[in-house]
Amino acid sequence: MPSEPPSTFRATIRASPLKTILKALRANVDEARFKIDESGIRVRAVDPANVAMDDLTLNTSAFESYDATPGVLGLDLDRFADPVNLAKKDDLVQFSLDRETRKLVVFVDGIEFRMACLDPATIRAEPTLPELELPASATLDRDVLQQGVKAADLVADHVGFRMDADEEVLRIEAEGDTDTVDFQLDEEKLDQATFAEASSLFSLDYMKKIVRTIPKGASVTVDFGSEFPIMLSYDLDDDAGSMTRMLAPRIET
């Protein structure tokens, strides 16, 4: 794909899904490369500490209208979100690229906002999504996942994900100086599971930011191993696309 801006980029999308996507991306990064082509938009970004990564695929079906040629845009996510947040959830947000000025034109409810794009070369390099063999997998409701993360946050600053293959249980655990949390999820509480022995520990600061920016009611597939990154994947509404959130583990010594 070319590293230059697309020669053509015009799109219209409802504010609600766009706000949801930007909220998720802004949880860990301030700026990102948007890879654009005829089939949609792809964003892959990692936070400055190399702890969390987001991988977004946004199909053309997410848009009310979409016309684009291949290219890359560098965007400041906070500045992009500013005009979008002026819109009501059912408002249409229109954007297009002014090739002469290299500005993204965002049109919301009668307001035109012209935003300078960033040079993609100045943005943190897009990470390669590692090919990991993660033996443990469970699919559950986002609200159940958040319940476990909130419980862990009551006692500690790290959260453990552990799967017991014999008991066929997923555990979300935390251990503080004096208190512990053990949230057990069996097959009745999981939509789907591949049970395998696995255990990893993760920063709660990062995990909280990720989970609270997953849309309510989303079905989340959690894949993890022992001292490997965890992958949290979910589809966007109306076959609009998908998102994978990856978080590196805390390695216990």
- pLDDT at position 163 is 95
Evaluate whether 199 touches 172 at the Cβ level (below 8 Å).
no
CATH of domain 136-247: 3.70.10.10
CATH of domain 9-122: 3.10.150.10
The SS3 assignment for 240 reads: coil
- pLDDT at position 252 is 62
Tell me the chain's radius of gyration from C-alpha atoms: 20
Tokens of 247: 């978080």
- Alpha carbon dihedral 22, 139, 142, 125, in 10-degree steps, equals -20
What is the mean pLDDT, run by run of 10 residues, along the chain of 253 residues?
86 96 96 97 94 96 97 96 94 95 94 96 81 93 97 97 94 96 94 95 97 96 96 94 95 60
How far apart are alpha carbons 219 and 232 in whole angstroms? 10
The SS3 assignment for 143 reads: helix
- Dmax (CA) of the chain: 63
Give the residue range(s) of CATH 3.70.10.10 domains in the chain: 136-247
- pLDDT at position 184 is 96
How far apart are alpha carbons 185 and 174 in whole angstroms? 15
- pLDDT at position 177 is 92
Residue 248 makes CB contacts below 8 A (sequence gap 6+) with: 50, 51, 52, 202, 229
Give the residue range(s) of CATH 3.10.150.10 domains in the chain: 9-122
- pLDDT at position 128 is 77
- pLDDT at position 60 is 97
- pLDDT at position 12 is 98
- pLDDT at position 131 is 80
Distance (Å) of CA 198 to CA 137, 146, 157, 181, 203: 10, 20, 20, 18, 17
